[in-house]
Amino acid sequence: MHDANRRSWDNNAGSWAEMRDRDGLWRRCPEEPELGFAGGAYELIGSLAGSVDGKDVAVVGSGDNHAVFALAGMKANVTSIDISERQLETASARADQLGLAIAFVRADATDLAAVADRSFDLVCSTNGFFVWIADLRAVYGEVFRILKPGGYYVFYDVHPFQRPWADRNMSIEVDKPYWHTGPFRDEKEGTFEFNWTMTDLLNPGTDTGLVLRRILERPAEDSNTWEGASYRPGKDNRLLDWKVNPRAALPFWLSAAWQRPA
């Protein structure tokens, strides 16, 4: 399943890059690093991990690399890890344009054999990561392994409470049970997605020995959340009103901060 997802991201990397060029957020992230995160994850990094200046940081499942560019702008020594070679090629070219020195590693998040033990002070993953992952325990195991003692793992992603509903606004229609987590196969793309529950997302971290320091549940921060994949500001603020859009009454983001014991 992971290999099918990799092929899809390699095939779609060009069109995805064009879309990200239209909204242009990646160009702003080094100078406005808060734009590289959502759901309170930026604040979690600052309050728990502290300054990343000079620290070794990895983003696992780096995707569009907004968090990577943000952390590099904060003067961290950043490694971008993703399963898609073409996504990394796009990110590398953009890093050159931005004048950022970033290491790029192509690897499956469940097998980071190319990364040495105890390499990073901070590991992050961002929106759109866990939905592609078939084995959460393997990911947490690898995160634990590559973290230095005392290091932190911070993630934010779409809250599981958003997953049971049909993809529409203005009304709520159940599309599946909360506990029906997949895999769900996209017949057109040949990809596999997972809609993990809170239990699925959090328990494997403690099983590997990480200590959960904080979780945050946040609402959608911009109406663009409901309007498509662009990072441009939304056009219909009514969608943030739960009386108009019932899904706005639910948390949209889940963020968590873990620590490897010192």
% of the chain with per-residue pLDDT over 90: 93
Fold annotation for 2-259 = Rossmann fold (3.40.50)
pLDDT bin (cut points 50, 70, 90) of residue 171 is: confident
- What are the pLDDT digits (tens) for 47-99? 999 999 999 999 999 999 999 999 999 999 999 999 999 999 999 999 999 99
**Across the chain, what does the average pLDDT equal?**
95
In whole angstroms, how far apart are CA 105 and each of 28, 102, 125, 237? 23, 10, 15, 39
Closest among 3, 257, 259 to 107, alpha carbons compared: 3
The arithmetic mean of pLDDT across residues 116-138, rounded, is 97
- What are the pLDDT digits (tens) for 217-258? 999 999 999 887 778 889 999 999 999 999 999 999 999 999
**At 199, phi and psi to the nearest 5?**
-60, -45
The arithmetic mean of pLDDT across residues 178-200, rounded, is 96
Residue 219, both tokens? 């609402």
The whole-number pLDDT of residue 217 equals 98
With a CB cutoff of 8 Å and minimum separation 6, the contacts of 258 are: 143, 152, 153, 154, 205, 210, 211, 212, 213
Is pLDDT at 260 greater than 80 in this prediction? yes
The whole-number pLDDT of residue 232 equals 85
